[in-house]
Amino acid sequence: MDFRALLMGLAFAFMWSSAFTSARMIVVDAPPLFSLSARFLLSGLIGIAIARALGQTWRLTPAQWRATLIFGVCQNGIYLGLNFVAMQWIEASVAAIIASTLPLIVALAGFAFLGDRLKPLAVAGLVAGFGGVILIMGARLSGGLDPLGVGLCVIAAIALAIATLSLRGASSGGNVMMVVGLQMLVGAVVLIFPSLALEEITVTWTPRLILAFLYTTLVPGLAATWVWFLLVQRIGAVRGATFHFLNPFFGVAVAAALLGEGLGPVDILGVVIIMAGILAVQLSKTPAVTPARR
């Protein structure tokens, strides 16, 4: 892995993880589903405009249309929608930790339902990763952590794992930014209806809300997705996914720095264990390098 790929991976992990802190800022001053729908509308329009400027077309392959709809509903609607709602009651660091278990959930579901074989390193990683989550959540639940918020985040992570597994092999065909933009428009449509039905649309306009909204729209929403696709193109999906092991660290660190969320010894130990588990699972997928014949 070259130095440029390393920087891209670190940038992606940081941007992705920081979204939970900015989301926590947003839901303090605005309804979660309404603000998320508005964010997807803006991100989607910008993404489509960029795609058109790059010469990309609306003519997607059937697999890409399937990816657009499934990810628009499962990732943008269910996964992010439930996370935004949950962060009315739980801290951003908790949501980031639960969401970071996605590689573990995908590996476990692939083994249970799709017949994927797990190497001993992957099994050890799964046990360690989920053990770290249990360690942190057990300590925080005893300290008054809202179980409803935790439950919503768990359902959200499972929904995203289902979408990820259902879209294997659907990333070819070009028009990547167009797919990204259209996914976000699907999310905007999916979320606006429950927002209008369930939420009181009252927004408290503050500098924090405006900055957090713009940041979430442009950085985790568009820039992180773009960097991710560039990283995968450069080093492949398996090696690129290894950077997910940094998500628990970045997610907790950003929340502690910007929101002042508490970070105890048990949290630190749990985060380290989760990181090790995710790294083990991802490394188990990396194909062995065959020595060149002389």
pLDDT of residue 290: 45
CA-based nearest residue to 163, from 80, 227, 83: 80
- 17 compared with 172, residue with greater pLDDT: 17
Q: What is the dihedral of CA 170, 235, 243, 223, to 10 degrees?
A: -70
d(CA 108, CA 154): 14
Q: Has residue 171 got a pLDDT over 70?
A: no
| pLDDT value of position 269 | 92
Q: Which amino acid is at 189?
A: V
DSSP string, 51-68: HHHTT--S---HHHHHHH
Q: Does pLDDT of 168 surpass 70?
A: no
Write down the pLDDT at residue 21: 94
Q: Does residue 23 carry a pLDDT above 60?
A: yes
pLDDT, average across residues 232-256: 79
Confidence at 213, pLDDT banded by 50, 70, 90? very high
Predicted pLDDT at 286: 63
Residue 92 has pLDDT above 60, yes or no: yes
Query: Is residue 186 over pLDDT 50?
Result: yes
Q: What gap in Å lies between CA 89 and CA 147, rounded to an integer? A: 9
